Amino acid sequence: MKLFLLTPILFGLWVSCVGPRQGTEMAETTAIDATVSTQEQPLIPAFPPGGTMELWISTPSNDHWLEPSHDSIQAGSQYSGIIHTTIILNPSQRYQTMDGFGASLTEASTWLIKNQLSPPVRERVMESLFGPTGIHLSMLRQPMGASDFNFEAWTYGDTPNNSNDFDLKYFSLEREQDSIRPVLDMALAVDPGRIKIIGSPWSPPAWMKTGRHLYGNRGGTLRPNVYESYARYFLKYLREYEALGSPIYAITVQNEPKFAAPWPGMTMSAHQQIDFIQVLGSLLAAEGYGHVKILAYDHNYDDINYARTVLQSSAAQYIAGTAWHYYSNLFHQNLTTVHNEFPDKGQWFTEGGTGTWIGGGTEEGMFLDLMMHTIRFPRNWARSYITWNVALDQNSGPALDGIDDANRGLVTIRSDRIDQIHYNNTYYGLGHSSRFVQPGAVRIESTPSIHWRLEQVAYENPDGSIVVVLVNHENSVRTISIKSQNRTWEYIITLPGKSGATFVVRGIH
């Protein structure tokens, strides 16, 4: 989703992997004066090995991002000062299993990565995104066809003059071959077997819609007589992605079904979604793809009635749970409400765009907002946290409509110069979870959830390590005691004002 705001992006330190350009280019972009080569030093330094605990802190006001903090941890027995907050962890009280944290390799993102980065820089950027020395993303939500961040609108089943193609003779993934497939393969190769992919269509082929147009505000709805063909469209997608070495973990049947978008999109009522999922679920089960999770809804968390309607229908037998976006006021608790009503169904957060329309447009505000969401969604049963574009350029594009300059990717890659990238606050904010919370981690009880505007969430990883992600919304420094419920260990950490942190404990419970 994109917001039509005209606030310019606020750029910080640009990272130039080839060093400053000469003459006029240097004068045009003075922020390049302070450059760091990502080929010469890691984006995120390593914590010294051998210890049982680590603390990583980001303080936007000081331009400190995901830095190991050696001096901000003390054993509880050695501390005699004032403790502002005590967090008690109970690993025996377990909640949902986490699938992971990630973003989307849209056509905009992949074009920039493939065409605006030289091979050695591209390799380093991919490692910084998907590798263990970077933020180690573990999920991708991939548009099935064009989204709003594309050069033009298209699907896998476009036909001449939007003519009917019930047998899907025109189905093809060819449009992905230029940049999407190569970059997706690069991402999957960084840490093979780690990444789970969720596929989501913005629009079916135009000929399947009542208005025969890809745009949501012109194309109408899905024609009832194409349900079987559209279900086989999904099946072909699953088969071909699997054959290419990128099996799909889950699908949603329509991105933002309540929004008639001025780009590829389609409205789909809850009852239409029920009818289609019954056809799709039955076909996938019969064809050996019943293991692919079908997620209902895939829209904003202010409306739980849509999800309720679908989950209490006869289509529920095929549905693994609900996908959520956050483009509304704060309604994280709605995920818990749906969980309590349908405890056998999961919750996934599948899209949250970021940019200068968040947090007042400041680096600090945007960062703290993202940290808040990465804590509150898992605390309300979300098994994933997925932002939007992996990469955008300095104009928040490439994009179809061309007028929205408020969005940011995890990284900004300049489209007018080669090898100039900027790692945004969202990269580090997401990294506070994605780098440390392993796929298969289980959220554990940690109390209190909010105290003095300090928020936190805790996990136990498959390797037994404990991870606590925190954000301090206060202006002042907070001293925090983190201890196990049985009081076998206690550590005191100190967080600066307006900061985010990740605390890791290894080998002890």
- First vs last Cα of the chain: how many Å apart? 42
Task: Write the DSSP string, 488-504.
Answer: S-EEEEEE-SSEEEEEE
* Encoded tokens for 38: 């990502």
Helices (H), 362-473: 363-379, 425-434
**In percent, how much of the chain has pLDDT > 70?**
89
Per-residue burial over 26-47, b if 16 or more Cβ lie within 10 Å, else e, is: eeebeebeebeebeeeebbeeb
Residue where the block lists tokens 């105290």: 451
- Asked if residue 15 has pLDDT above 60, the reply is no
- Rounded CA separation 428/68 (Å): 13
- The one-letter amino acid code at 280 reads L
DSSP for residue 226: G
Residue 67 has pLDDT above 70, yes or no: yes
Q: Is the pLDDT of residue 5 over 70?
A: no
The answer to whether residue 51 scores a pLDDT higher than 80 is no
Q: How many CA atoms lie within 13 A of 14 on its CB side?
A: 24
Instruction: Tokens 């377990």: give the residue.
Output: 94
Which tens digit of pLDDT belongs to each residue from 159-195?
A: 999 999 999 999 999 999 999 999 999 999 999 999 9
pLDDT digits (tens, 9 = 90+) for 397-434: 999 976 667 999 999 999 999 999 999 999 999 999 99
How many residues comprise the chain? Answer: 509
What is the residue-averaged pLDDT of the chain?
90
Q: What integer pLDDT is reported at residue 247 of this predicted model?
A: 98
Pick the closest to residue 176 from 146, 198, 221 (CA basis). Answer: 146
**Over residues 50-73, mean pLDDT:** 90
- E strands in 273-368: 293-300, 319-325, 346-352, 354-355
- Indicate if the pLDDT at residue 354 is higher than 70: yes
pLDDT value at residue 43: 59
- Residue 358 tokens, joined: 């968040």
- Residue 376 tokens read as 């509150």
Nearest to 500, CA basis, from 318, 297, 338, 364: 364
pLDDT-based confidence at 49, cuts 50/70/90? Answer: low
- pLDDT for residue 312 is more than 60: yes
CA pair distance 386, 363, nearest whole angstrom? 20
* Contact status, residue 294 vs residue 251, Cβ threshold 8 Å: yes
Q: How far apart are CA 208 and CA 204, in angstroms?
A: 6
User: 329: which residues sit within 8 A by CB, 6+ positions away?
Assistant: 302
- What is the C-alpha radius of gyration for the chain, rounded to an integer number of angstroms? 23
Is residue 1's pLDDT more than 90?
no
pLDDT band at 32 (very low <50, low <70, confident <90, very high): very low
Domains annotated on the chain, with CATH: 11-41 (no CATH), 53-96+444-505 (2.60.40.1180), 99-436 (3.20.20.80)
* Residues 6 or more apart whose Cβ sits within 8 Å of residue 485: 88, 89, 90, 92
Query: Is the pLDDT at 313 greater than 80, yes or no?
Result: yes
Q: Which residues contact 460 (CB under 8 A, 6 or more apart)?
A: 91, 94, 441, 442, 444, 466, 467
How much of the chain is helix, strand and coil, in % rounded to 5? 30, 25, 45
Whether cis (ω within 30° of 0) applies to the bond prior to 262 is: no
Q: Looking at per-residue confidence, does 33 or 301 come out higher? A: 301
Check whether 16 has a pLDDT greater than 60: no
Is the pTM value of this prediction over 0.75? yes
Q: To 10 degrees, the CA torsion angle through 322, 325, 196, 288?
A: 40
Percent residues over pLDDT 90 in the chain: 83
pLDDT tens figures, 231-249: 999 999 999 999 999 999 9
